[in-house]
Amino acid sequence: MQNVQDYISKNKERFLDELIQLLRIPSVSADSAFSQDVIDTSEAVRTALENAGCDTVEICETDGYPIVYGEKIIDPALPTVLVYGHYDVQPADPINLWNSPPFEPVIKKTDTHPEGAIFARGACDDKGQMYMHVKALEFMVKTNQLPCNVKFMIEGEEEVGSNNLAVFVANNHKKLANDIILISDTGMIANDVPSITTGLRGLSYVEVEVTGPNRDLHSGLYGGAVANPINALTKMIASLHDENNHITIPGFYDKVEDLSQEERAEMAKAPFSLDAYQKALNITSVDGEKGYSTNERNSIRPTLDVNGIWGGYTGEGAKTVIASKAYAKISMRLVPNQDWQDITQLFKTHFESIAPKGVTVKVTPHHGGQGYVTPIDTIGYKAASKAYEITFGKKPIPQRSGGSIPIVALFEKELNSKTILMGFGLDSDAIHSPNEHFGVWNYLKGIETIPYFYHHFTEMSK
Ligand code: BES
Ligand code: MN
Ligand code: MN
């Protein structure tokens, strides 16, 4: 690859400025107050793809936010890479925990990013990582080094479940036909320990509502005599794990695939410091399913977590009251073979069955998706591995991630192609949290690595 480092150092400031402009638009897909901003962001992505050298770019309307589709077909006989990413972001709240406003990006140095990191909502997830692909395309087109065809599909509803993208994919098999799907929306172990994500967990996300008496009650007059929905809910939630932190829902583990001792031994080789992990989170101990390491707990094992819980009086001071209702939002991270709809049904049946006398329970499924594992003996993986070897000077480690990108399993089913997850974020980049950031070094390293993937993938496809 000619001059990729040269090209990056000459254009570094512009690459950063362009990303910063994109990060200024608050494209929060979950909150309708930002709907115009989400639409404006799709326009900005369209312009960026046009400027980078796509031949055609379209805004594809859906029942929700638009999908930006762009392509450059240089020769139908050559392989085609389909790049997927998302331009929507998570809500920024709690805003008061940000050290600088979430949509006014600033570059600051950190311990893990001595060369600086861009602080903004979406910096790492996923605008920064998506934009690496746009700039890598610009480099390949401007220097006449694009070796194959490329298609971009950038959506605006990943953070809310990608429901409309699923419809779009099902209706556009031909348009989206490709030889490999390339995504940068995950992480790697460390800047000096490159890794390629080989797995994603599935997800089932539900909301529960527990109802007791028909109105809020005085906790002195009625307390102890009627079921308290908050007491009931917390007891029910507590019973979902046993003393070994196994999930107690009957049938929950039925389809879970146990990894062989060899596979687990291979996983354990990835560098990991429990001490550094605990220090970074300011905790004195880790916790999780008995019999598994931290890295196993957060990748190859399914989990259940309360993501939010509310009810009763939470304002200033004290109010003596028994609330009529209590609520919680619960996520279950799943592993390949566990079907998310089956698990949602198992949860619903079980949760309803453990309701104590005097309350009723309603379970509402939100969204979900299947997990994914990608093999490492394909030319896609090998080409990615070579690319990292060149730009990082080290062979990357294959690693399964705990996060979810539900659409990836669907891509395989609908488009019949494998996905390569080239993530350049770090776990410490605080995605979905206050002070999300993305290392400047990581951003530029991604732009540098991607063209080598195209090159090797095209060569290996011959
Ligand atoms: N990019 C993340 C997923 C991710 C991050 C995977 C880091 C692996 C490593 C994605 O935007 C995300 O947040 N997904 C959601 C699920 C989605 C249905 C809202 C998640 O994992 O919670
Ligand atoms: Mn993402
Ligand atoms: Mn996300």
Q: Tokens in use for 109? A: 């140095």
Compute, in angstroms, the gap from residue 89 CA to the centroid of ligand 3.
7
Top CATH class, 4-200+371-460: alpha beta
State which ligand 1 atom lies nearest to the alpha carbon of 368: 18
Long-range CB pairs of 429-432 (<8 Å, 24+ gap) are 429/117, 429/123, 429/124, 429/187, 431/90, 431/124, 431/125, 432/90, 432/125
What H or E segment, with its residue span, contains residue 142?
helix 127-142
Domain 202-256+302-369 has CATH 3.30.70.360: yes
405 lines ligand 1 (CB under 6 A): yes
Domains 4-200+371-460 and 202-256+302-369 share a fold: no
298 lines ligand 1 (CB under 6 A): no
Q: What is the pLDDT along the chain (462 residues), one digit of tens a residue?
A: 779 999 999 999 999 999 999 999 999 999 999 999 999 999 999 999 999 999 999 999 999 999 999 999 999 999 999 999 999 999 999 999 999 999 999 999 999 999 999 999 999 999 999 999 999 999 999 999 999 999 999 999 999 999 999 999 999 999 999 999 999 999 999 999 999 999 999 999 999 999 999 999 999 999 999 999 999 999 999 999 999 999 999 999 999 999 999 999 999 999 999 999 999 999 999 999 999 999 999 999 999 999 999 999 999 999 999 999 999 999 999 999 999 999 999 999 999 999 999 999 999 999 899 999 999 999 999 999 999 999 999 999 999 999 999 999 999 999 999 999 999 999 999 999 999 999 999 999 999 999 999 999 999 999
Every domain of the chain and the residues it spans: 4-200+371-460, 202-256+302-369
List all residues 6 or more positions away from 124 whose beta carbon is below 8 Å from its beta carbon. Answer: 425, 429, 431, 436, 437, 438
State which ligand 1 atom lies nearest to the alpha carbon of 367: 18
State which ligand 1 atom lies nearest to the alpha carbon of 201: 21
